[in-house]
Amino acid sequence: MARYDRAITVFSPDGHLFQVEYALEAVRKGNAAVGVRGTDTVVLGVEKKSTVKLQDSRLSGADNLLLLSCRSVRKIVNLDCHIALACAGLKADARVLINRARVECQSHRLTVEDPVTVEYITRYIAGLQQKYTQSGGVRPFGLSTLIAGFDPYTGVPALYQTDPSGTFSAWKANATGRNSNSMREYLEKNYKETSGQETVKLAIRALLEVVESGGKNIEVAVMTKEHGLQQLEEAEIDAIVAEIEAEKTAAEAAKKAPPKET
Amino acid sequence: MKLDTSGLESTAPLFGANTVLFDGFKDVPSFDVPKTNDFDGFQKEAIQMVKPAKGTTTLAFIFKEGVIVAADSRASMGGYISSQSVKKIIEINPYMLGTMAGGAADCQFWHRNLGIKCRLHELANKRRISVTGASKLLANILYSYRGMGLSVGTMIAGWDETGPGLYYVDSEGGRLKGTRFSVGSGSPYAYGVLDSGYRYDMSVQEAAELARRSIYHATFRDGASGGVASVYYVGPSGWKKLSGDDVGELHYNYYPVLPSTVEQEMTES
């Protein structure tokens, strides 16, 4: 096995590309990220590791210079006005991929005078990730992305996921990164068509399965057709988390109550 | 200036890993330009030598029901009429038409190439390309060959998700969106009739008749236009050829011969 993981262009005898699988491992160690698609909203949420004390979160990695809140956006970024991306895995690789995707979005607008569709830019990113699994001297990108957005003409919301091997598919809801299996199980059990605030709550509930509760540990961004990408403030997230906890305790109390009445 | 040969490849790549902003520009060897004192003058001369005069009349306009596209069918080489039956309206795909003015070979080749690119776009993106996008693809290609002697003055007309679309694209790299265009040596005459008779809310028949009349009048006065006046209509379900009338016969429709009264009859005695 050791002989087949040096150069990624080499298949192993049993048909594995080990570098790609190791890249998937890197993704599994990255921060948790979740995406949920509603009827009129798409929500992206990521786990935020509690900030290191001396780090100035206001300035580091600011992708959105217009964001005036005290937390800079690092993990959920805009690719164009109507498309957003969240990822899990190597953040440095993410920067490169995001820059290329942003250039492609503008290049598409220039050559075809149309904004990209979510499917087009996902296909581009996935194609880029695949290219790096079939070239000499390079390693695959160590990240999986969740791409959310609206079709510029039909206004239909869409959510896609790509991974280091270069495959992509559309999802109603998905999770990636650390503990993504538990999040996915939760979503499979509890997913239903939602809209607006309900979609946001579903995404946060899924994240809370694996992340410590609290606004300072999760970052949530809501994508709507009218307003584009909106980051939720810490205070807003705390409020929603409080609502969710209240609903949970109410549900548990309802479960316990009936036996007492008999 | 790098040549854009993406149009000549059999399978145009859908995307590349290049970080350059423009689509389709590749590292292709281009030819060396000779050294002269007056390079601009040399370029102008070269263009004038290669560029055949755009002897034709084509027109297209948008109206309430869609787009009307019309053209004559004469090909001339200087003073010699080489053909009276040239197809100047090129069917790019079932919902888009292109008109031919300038070099016939250039127009035909690049329109067919555009048809290929449009089909590839459909297959890759599972939706039809817009008229905006198609005209932009053609304009980008023509721009990359700017100064090399292509002679194309075309209108791209079609119907897409946003409704009827009409663009004028030429070999200088220009691209204009508009509602009324006429291209070719007969265009001044066609514009005169078209502009004075145009209304947005005409029926398909009225619009076709206006187009036919404009082409006829252009062929009447312009020596390089003639043959058959073809009229096409582009609607929500694609294009349809409405008519193809010989302009010689059309003349007598508009100006029928009136029997004149004879003042003195010569009788045979």
* pLDDT tens-digit map of B194-243: 999 999 999 999 999 999 999 999 999 999 999 999 999 999 999 999 99
Q: What is the average per-residue pLDDT within A49-64?
A: 61
A66 pLDDT above the threshold of 50:
no
Nearest-CA distance A131 → chain B (Å): 8
Contact between chains at A113 and B17 (C-beta distance less than 8 A): no
User: What would the two tokens of residue B242 be?
Assistant: 């409405």
B179 pLDDT above the threshold of 80:
yes
Report the sign of the C-alpha dihedral through residues B87, B88, B93, B94, in that order: negative
The model's pLDDT over A129-180, given as tens digits with 9 standing for 90+, comes to 999 988 878 889 999 999 999 998 888 999 999 999 999 999 999 999 999 9
pLDDT for res B267: 65
pLDDT for res A125: 96
A87 pLDDT above the threshold of 80:
yes
Query: Which chain B positions have a beta carbon within 8 Å of A106's beta carbon?
Result: 21
Q: Is B220 helix (H, G, I), strand (E, B) or coil?
A: helix
Burial A202-216 (b: 16+ CB within 10 A, else e): bbbbbbbbbbeeebe
Cβ–Cβ < 8 Å for A172, A30: no
Q: What is the average per-residue pLDDT within B61-68?
A: 96
Query: Which chain B positions have a beta carbon within 8 Å of A135's beta carbon?
Result: none
Contact between chains at A112 and B136 (C-beta distance less than 8 A): yes
Contact between chains at B15 and A112 (C-beta distance less than 8 A): no
Query: Which chain B positions have a beta carbon within 8 Å of A131's beta carbon?
Result: 17
Shortest CA distance from B161: residue in chain A: A153
B67 pLDDT above the threshold of 80:
yes
pLDDT for res B20: 43
Cβ–Cβ < 8 Å for A149, A38: no
Query: Which chain B positions have a beta carbon within 8 Å of A111's beta carbon?
Result: 22-24, 133, 136-137, 140
User: What would the two tokens of residue B52 be?
Assistant: 């055949």
The model's pLDDT over B12-52, given as tens digits with 9 standing for 90+, comes to 344 444 444 444 445 444 667 677 787 777 767 766 655 55
pLDDT bucket at A220, cuts 50 / 70 / 90: very high
Cβ–Cβ < 8 Å for B69, B207: no
- 3-class secondary structure for chain A? CHHHCCCCCCCCCCCCCHHHHHHHHHHHHCCCEEEEECCCEEEEEEECCCCCCCCCCCCCCCCCCCCCCCCCCCCEEEEECCEEEEEEECHHHHHHHHHHHHHHHHHHHHHHCCCCCHHHHHHHHHHHHHHCCCCCCCCCCCEEEEEEEECCCCCCEEEEEECCCCCEEECCEEEECCCHHHHHHHHHHHCCCCCCHHHHHHHHHHHHCCCCCCHHHEEEEEEECCCEEEECCHHHHHHHHHHHHHHHHHHHHHHHHHHHHC
- 3-class secondary structure for A145-192? EEEEEECCCCCCEEEEEECCCCCEEECCEEEECCCHHHHHHHHHHHCC
Smallest CA-to-CA distance from B142 within B130, B156, B129 is with: B156
**Higher model confidence: residue A1 or residue B112?**
B112
Query: Which chain A positions have a beta carbon within 8 Å of B132's beta carbon?
Result: 112-114
Contact between chains at A128 and B17 (C-beta distance less than 8 A): yes
A14 pLDDT above the threshold of 60:
yes
Q: How many CA atoms lie within 13 A of A101 on its CB side?
A: 31
The verdict on whether B56 is a catalytic residue reads yes
A198 pLDDT above the threshold of 60:
yes
pLDDT for res B49: 57
Contact between chains at A153 and B161 (C-beta distance less than 8 A): yes
pLDDT bucket at B53, cuts 50 / 70 / 90: low
Please give the ipTM for the structure prediction: 0.74
pLDDT for res A5: 59
A17 pLDDT above the threshold of 80:
yes
Distance in Å from the first CA to the final CA of chain A:
64
Chain A residues at the B interface, defined by Cβ less than 8 Å, are 100, 103-104, 106-107, 110-114, 117, 119-120, 123-124, 127-128, 131, 153
pLDDT for res A85: 95
Shortest CA distance from A109: residue in chain B: B133
pLDDT for res B151: 87
pLDDT bucket at B123, cuts 50 / 70 / 90: very high
Q: What is the pTM of this model?
A: 0.78
pLDDT for res A51: 66
pLDDT for res B21: 43
Nearest-CA distance B136 → chain A (Å): 6
Nearest-CA distance A152 → chain B (Å): 12
Shortest CA distance from A131: residue in chain B: B17
Shortest CA distance from A130: residue in chain B: B17
Instruction: Determine which one of B5, B56, B154, B261 is catalytic.
Output: B56
Calpha distance B59→B70 (Å, rounded): 5
